[in-house]
Amino acid sequence: MKCPYCSSDNTRVIDSRPADDNYSIRRRRLCDDCGKRFTTYEKVETIPLIVIKKDNNREQYDRAKVEAGILRACHKRPVSVDLISQLVDTVEVDIFSREEKEISSSEIGEIVMNRLQELDPVAYVRFASVYREFKDVNTFMDELKKILDN
Q: What is the pLDDT of residues 2-44, one digit of tens each?
A: 999 999 999 999 999 987 777 789 999 999 999 999 999 888 7
The sign of the torsion formed by the CA atoms of 112, 113, 114, 120 equals positive
Q: What is the pLDDT of residue 65?
A: 93
Q: If phi over 0 gives left and psi between -120 and 50 gives alpha, with beta otherwise, what is residue 99?
A: left
Residue 113 belongs to domain spanning: 50-149
**Is residue 71 a part of any domain in this protein?**
yes
Instruction: Please indicate, yes or no, whether residues 67 and 86 belong to a single structural domain of this protein.
Output: yes
Instruction: Please indicate, yes or no, whether residues 94 and 109 belong to a single structural domain of this protein.
Output: yes
Q: What pTM does this model have?
A: 0.62
Kindly indicate the confidence band of residue 144, based on its pLDDT and cuts at 50, 70 and 90: confident
Instruction: Please indicate, yes or no, whether residues 32 and 57 belong to a single structural domain of this protein.
Output: no
Coil/strand/helix, residue 81: helix
**Is residue 135 a part of any domain in this protein?**
yes
- Main-chain phi, psi angles of 97, to 5 degrees: -75, -15
Instruction: Please indicate, yes or no, whether residues 34 and 72 belong to a single structural domain of this protein.
Output: no
When divided into structural domains, the chain yields a total of 2
Which residues, 6+ apart, have CB-to-CB distance to 116 below 8 Å? 70, 73, 87, 123, 124, 127
Instruction: Please indicate, yes or no, whether residues 99 and 70 belong to a single structural domain of this protein.
Output: yes
Q: What is the pLDDT of residue 93?
A: 87
Instruction: Please indicate, yes or no, whether residues 143 and 112 belong to a single structural domain of this protein.
Output: yes
Q: What is the pLDDT of residue 36?
A: 96
**Is residue 4 a part of any domain in this protein?**
no
Around Cβ 103, how many Cβ atoms within 10 Å? Answer: 18
Instruction: Please indicate, yes or no, whether residues 73 and 121 belong to a single structural domain of this protein.
Output: yes
Instruction: Please indicate, yes or no, whether residues 69 and 129 belong to a single structural domain of this protein.
Output: yes
**Is residue 5 a part of any domain in this protein?**
no
Instruction: Please indicate, yes or no, whether residues 68 and 91 belong to a single structural domain of this protein.
Output: yes
**Is residue 1 a part of any domain in this protein?**
no
